[in-house]
A and B are shown apart, each in its own frame.
Chain A
Amino acid sequence: MNRIHLGEFEELVLLTVGVLYPDAYAVAITKEITAQSGRSVNVSAVHKSLYRLENKGMLTSELSDPESKRGGKRKRLFSITPFGKKALDESMELRMSLRKQIPELAFKWQIS
C-alpha cells in the first residue's frame, strides 16, 4: 500500500488543525470538533491523534507563550506540513473520485 493511511478521526483532527490555523492546540481542536460534528470528543483522544500525526510527519508544532488561563503553562500549537496537506488532498481526492464513480442508478430508489 503506497497510499498514506489516515484514520477517520485523524482526518477530522488534521482538517480542524487547518481550520483553526494559526491557533490550533488540543483544547481548541476538541471544542471545534465537538461544535462542528456534534459528537462528544475527549481531549485525550485528540492528544493521541495529534501526537500520532506529528510522528507521521503530517503535523508540526511549536510552543506558545504562557497563558494564565492554563495555570501559566504554555500550549503546543500545531500546523499542517506539506506532507500533511498531501495526505489530506489524496484522501479527499480518493473520496471524490469514488463518489463520482457511483452510478446514478444507485440513487434511483423505487418504492416497490
Chain B
Amino acid sequence: MCRKTDIPKIPHALFKWYCRPERYEELHGDLEEFFYERVDEYGATKARLYYLLDVIRCCQSYAWKKTGRQTNLTISMFRNFYFTAIRNLIKNKGYSSINIAGLTIGMTSFIFISLFIVNELSYDRFHSDYKNIYRARSEGQIRAQRVDNATTPSPMAKTLLNTYPEVVKVTRVRKSDPLLVEKGSSKINEEGILYADSTFFDVFDFNLVEGDPATALVHPRSMLLTETYAKKYFGEEEPIGKHLSIEKDTILYTITGVLEDVPANSHIQFNMLCSMSSNASWDNDRWVDGLFYTYVILADKVNVEALEEKMQDLVYQYLAPEIEYYTELTMAEWEGSGNHVTYSLFPVKDIHLYSKSIREIGVNGNISYIYIYSVIALIIVFIAIFNFINLATAQSTSRAREVGVRKVMGSTKTGLIYQFIFESVIVSSISTILAAILVTVFMPSFIHLVGKPLTFGLTSSYIGLLALFGLTIVVGVLAGSYPAFVLATSKPVDALKGASRSGSRVGWLRNFLVIIQFAASIVIIIGTLVVYYQIDFMLTKNLGFDKERTLVIRRPDALANNLEAFKNELLLDPAISAVVNSKTIPGKNYAIRSYRRKDRSETHIFKNNQVGFGYEAVMGLELISGRYFSQEYSSDSNAVIINESAARSLGFEDPIGQNLTSSFRRGELLEIIGVVKDYNIESLHRPIEPTSLELRPTTTKGYISVKMTSDLNVRETIQYIEKAWHTHSDKPLQYFFFDEDYENLYRSESATGKVFVVFAALSIFIACLGLIGLIAYTIAVRKKEIGIRKVLGANTGILIRLLSSEIVRLIIIATLVSWPLAYFATDYWLQNFADRLDIDLWIYAVPTLIVLLIGCLAISFQTIRASLSNPIHALKEE
C-alpha cells in the first residue's frame, strides 16, 4: 500500500527517468527534504502537488541524462543529414518526384483502404456491453435445403428470459415495410422504420438526446425519431409530445424521444423507432416462421455453447407441436426424413462481417472482402516500397562518391546507415503529408466508390494521426534500410574511384523486386477482370425471367378494392403490354409451402409465389409443358405451376395433370397444370430452388408489375401510371424498376469491382513509375557502353533489343509466378457464388499483355532517346 505521506510514485518515476544517475541522489534528496517539510506544513495532498511541480521544474539541462555522445554533435549531424537529403532531392528532381509520387499514391491507397477496413471492423462495438450481446437465429435443414434465418418467432425473447438464468436482458426488433407517414399536408413514404420492445435501450446504447429511454417505447404508438428526422418533420419545434399519422391510422403516434443519428457502423439502421406494443397481434405464441430479431444480453462468462445446447429443448417443447400440425407428420418422422431445426446465438459484434443468414436486418459486409481489401492495400504499399528500394539502389552509384568521402572523414557504418534511413524517412514524411492531403481531398469520391459512409476519418481520433506517424516511420525504415545497407557497406576505395560496383552487385535483388512488382500488378489486373466479368455475368445471365422494361409498384393494398379497375386502366395505355399483381417477385422474400404427392407421404417444400393472370407474360417465363393459368378454367384456383427443379424433386414422369396436397390448403387437391423452365428467384450466390406458382388474382399483398412495350417514353408512361394510381388511391405511388432493384443484390460485388478497378490502375501506375525510373538509370549507367556500341555500328533496333530484353525476361518470369497466385485468389472469391463464370485463358493472357505493353512503352521512350543520341556526348568525358 502506498501511504499518502510517501513520495508520489508516478512523478518519482518520471524524475528517475530523466535524471542523470550521478546527480539523482543529491537532487532527489533536496526534493524529498522539501516534500517531507511540506507534508508537515501543508498536509500530504498539497505536498504531493508541490512535489509534482518541482519534478517538472527540475527537468532542465543540468539534471538530464547525458546522451551517448554530446547532444549538440548528434543534432548537428542530423542537421547535416537533413541538408544532404534535401539537396539530393532537389538535385535529382526527376528521380525524387518519381519516388515521392509513387510513395504518395501507395500511401494514399493504403490509408483509404485501412480506413475502410477499420470501419468495417468497428461495427457494433459502440454498445457498452457488446461482448455479451447475442442475436438468436434459427438454423436447420428443411427438405435438403440449408436454412439460416436471422429472425426468430415472437415468443423467443420472453421464453429465453424466463427459462434461462444466463439470459439477463432481451429485446425484440421488427423491421417494417415502408410506411406512409403524414404530418399535416406532407405525405412521405418512409423506409427505415423499426418496431422495438421497450427494453431496446437496456440492450443497445443508442443515445437519446431527449426523452427517457426507460419509458419511451412502453406505450403503444410511441415513436422516437433520429435528430435528422426530428428536424425533417418538426424543424426547430420541440418534437416531444407531437403527433404523426402512420398509414392513415386514426390513432396517431406520439413522439416520445429524439435519438442521436444512428452511427454508420451499426448493423441496425433506422430513422424512426416505434413501440412494439403498437401492434398487439405481434405478441403471439406462434413458433413457426417469426419475423422478429431477438437480441439478448448474457451474463458475464456464460458458456454460450452450453446454453445453445440447452436451447434445443425449445425446439421440441414449442416448435415440434406446430411442425406436426402443419406437416401432418410426427416430429420423429419429420426429423427422420432429414429435417431439423436448431436455435442458436450469434454474437452481435460479428453480424456485419460473418452473418450469412437470410432475412438480415440490413445489407451486411463480408469478411472475405476484408481479407481481399487488406491484401490489396499491402500489395500497393509494397509495390511503392519496392519502387523506392529499386530506385535508391540504382541511384546508389551517384551517391557512392559521397559515401566514400564520408568514410574517409571517419564516418562509421552505423552513422551512414542512419543517414540513408533518415533520408528515406524524410521522403516518406513528405509522401505521408501529401497522402494525408490527398485523402482529405478525395474522401467524398472514396465514400462514393465504396457506397457507404465511414464513421472514422483520418482525424477523428488521435490514434489516426499516431498511426499515420507510425506508417511514415515504418515505410521510411522499410524502404531505406536495404539501400542504406548497400551504400554503407561499400568499400571506400571502390567508392572513391567512382565506379562503384554496387549497382551490378545488387542487380539480382533489383530484378527480384521488379518481378514481384509485375507479378502483383498482373494478379491485381486478373482479379479485376474476374470480378468485373463475374458481375457482368450475373447481371446479364439468362436468369430465366425478364427483368427489363418492368416497373414494379409497391403496396398495391393502397388500392384496396380498386385493384382490378387500376389494372384495367393501365392496360388502356398502348405503351403498357401487361400488368400483373403477385405476392412477391424474384429477388424479394419468398414464402415456403409444403406439398405432398397424393400417392406418397414424403413432404416437399417449395418456394411459393401467388400470382395473378398473365404473370408469365410480364416475367417472361418459358413454358416447358402444360399451360399457364387462364381465366377460361374456373378450376385454376386449385391449380399449381411448378418449375423444373420442383418437377424433378416430385419425381413424376409426366407431372401435368397430377394432383398434390398441401397442408396450407387443408385437404384440397392441387392439380399441376404446367411446368416452367428453371429461373432464379434469388441472387446467383444461391442455387436455383424448386418453386411453385399458385393463382390468387385478387391478392392485394406484394407488388404490381407493369411491363412496358419499349424503353422510349418511359417518363410519359410513368406519368400515366401515376395519374391512374391517384384516381384509385389517395396514397402516394411507390415504384421501382425491376432490373435496378435486382442489381442491388450485387451491391457489395459491384462496389468491390469498382474498388478493384481503381486500385489496379493505381498499382500499375506505381509499378510503371518505378520502371521508368529504373530504366532511366540503367541507361545512364550504360551510357558509355551504348556510345561504344554505336560507334562500332550498332543500330537503334539492336540497342532497343539489348536494353529491353532483360525487362521482357523479367515480365515473363513475373507472369509465370502470377498465374497460379491469381488462380488461387480468384478461385477463393468465386466460392461466394453458386453460379460461376468459366475462366478463359484470355483473362490470364490479357493482363500479361497489358503489363508487357506498358512496360515496353516505358522502355522504348527511354531507349530510343538513348540510342538516338550522339555517341560523342557519351564518350567525350573519357
By the criterion CB–CB under 8 Å, are B32 and A71 in contact? yes
Question: A69-B36, A71-B7, A71-B32 known; A42 and B57 CB under 8 Å?
Answer: yes
The one of A43, A48, A51, A52 that contacts B30, using a Cβ cutoff of 8 Å: A43
In the complex, A43 Cα to B62 Cα: how many Å?
A: 13
Question: A69-B33, A73-B32 known; A44 and B26 CB under 8 Å?
Answer: no
By the criterion CB–CB under 8 Å, are B25 and A73 in contact? yes
- On chain A, the residues within 8 Å of B30 by CB distance are 25-27, 43, 47, 70, 75
**A4 an interface residue at 8 Å Cβ cutoff?**
no
Which positions 11-69 of chain A face chain B at CB distance < 8 Å? 25-27, 42-44, 47-48, 51-52, 63, 67, 69
**B31 an interface residue at 8 Å Cβ cutoff?**
yes
- On chain A, the residues within 8 Å of B36 by CB distance are 69-71
The one of B26, B54, B60 that contacts A73, using a Cβ cutoff of 8 Å: B26
Which positions 13-32 of chain B face chain A at CB distance < 8 Å? 25-32
A56 to chain B, nearest CB (A): 13
By the criterion CB–CB under 8 Å, are A48 and B29 in contact? no
In the complex, A42 Cα to B36 Cα: how many Å?
A: 16
Most B C-beta atoms less than 10 A away, residue of A43, A48, A67, A70: A70
Question: A48-B60, A48-B62, A71-B7 known; A43 and B25 CB under 8 Å?
Answer: no
In the complex, A58 Cα to B33 Cα: how many Å?
A: 26
- On chain B, the residues within 8 Å of A48 by CB distance are 60, 62
**A76 an interface residue at 8 Å Cβ cutoff?**
yes
In the complex, A74 Cα to B28 Cα: how many Å?
A: 10
By the criterion CB–CB under 8 Å, are A44 and B29 in contact? no
- On chain A, the residues within 8 Å of B27 by CB distance are 47
- On chain A, the residues within 8 Å of B60 by CB distance are 44, 47-48
- On chain B, the residues within 8 Å of A75 by CB distance are 26, 29-30
Minimum CB distance partner of A49 in chain B: B62
**B325 an interface residue at 8 Å Cβ cutoff?**
no
**B142 an interface residue at 8 Å Cβ cutoff?**
no
A18 to chain B, nearest CB (A): 20
By the criterion CB–CB under 8 Å, are B58 and A71 in contact? no
- On chain A, the residues within 8 Å of B28 by CB distance are 71, 73
Question: A42-B57, A44-B54, A47-B63 known; A74 and B26 CB under 8 Å?
Answer: yes
The interface residues of chain B, by DSSP majority, are classed as helix
**B83 an interface residue at 8 Å Cβ cutoff?**
no
A26 to chain B, nearest CB (A): 5
**B316 an interface residue at 8 Å Cβ cutoff?**
no
Question: A25-B30, A74-B26 known; A43 and B7 CB under 8 Å?
Answer: no
By the criterion CB–CB under 8 Å, are A43 and B26 in contact? no
The one of B7, B33, B57 that contacts A44, using a Cβ cutoff of 8 Å: B57
Most A C-beta atoms less than 10 A away, residue of B26, B31, B36, B58: B26
- On chain A, the residues within 8 Å of B736 by CB distance are none
In the complex, A58 Cα to B802 Cα: how many Å?
A: 77
A57 to chain B, nearest CB (A): 16
- On chain B, the residues within 8 Å of A25 by CB distance are 26, 30
- On chain B, the residues within 8 Å of A69 by CB distance are 33, 36
By the criterion CB–CB under 8 Å, are B33 and A76 in contact? no
- On chain B, the residues within 8 Å of A70 by CB distance are 29-30, 32-33, 36
In the complex, A26 Cα to B54 Cα: how many Å?
A: 13
- On chain B, the residues within 8 Å of A51 by CB distance are 62
- On chain A, the residues within 8 Å of B32 by CB distance are 70-71, 73
Question: A48-B62, A51-B62, A69-B36 known; A43 and B29 CB under 8 Å?
Answer: no
By the criterion CB–CB under 8 Å, are B29 and A73 in contact? yes
**B34 an interface residue at 8 Å Cβ cutoff?**
yes
User: Lowest 3 A-B CB distances belong to which pairs?
Assistant: A73-B29, A70-B29, A44-B57
Known: A70-B29, A73-B29. 20 other contacts (CB 8 A): A25-B30, A42-B54, A42-B57, A43-B30, A43-B34, A44-B57, A47-B27, A47-B30, A47-B58, A47-B60, A48-B60, A48-B62, A69-B33, A69-B36, A70-B36, A71-B7, A71-B32, A73-B25, A74-B26, A75-B29
Task: Spell out B's residues near A (CB within 8 Å).
Answer: 7, 25-34, 36, 54, 57-58, 60, 62-63
- Can you show 6 pairs from A to B with CB atoms below 8 A apart? A25-B26, A26-B30, A43-B31, A43-B34, A75-B30, A76-B26
Task: Spell out A's residues near B (CB within 8 Å).
Answer: 25-27, 42-44, 47-48, 51-52, 63, 67, 69-71, 73-76
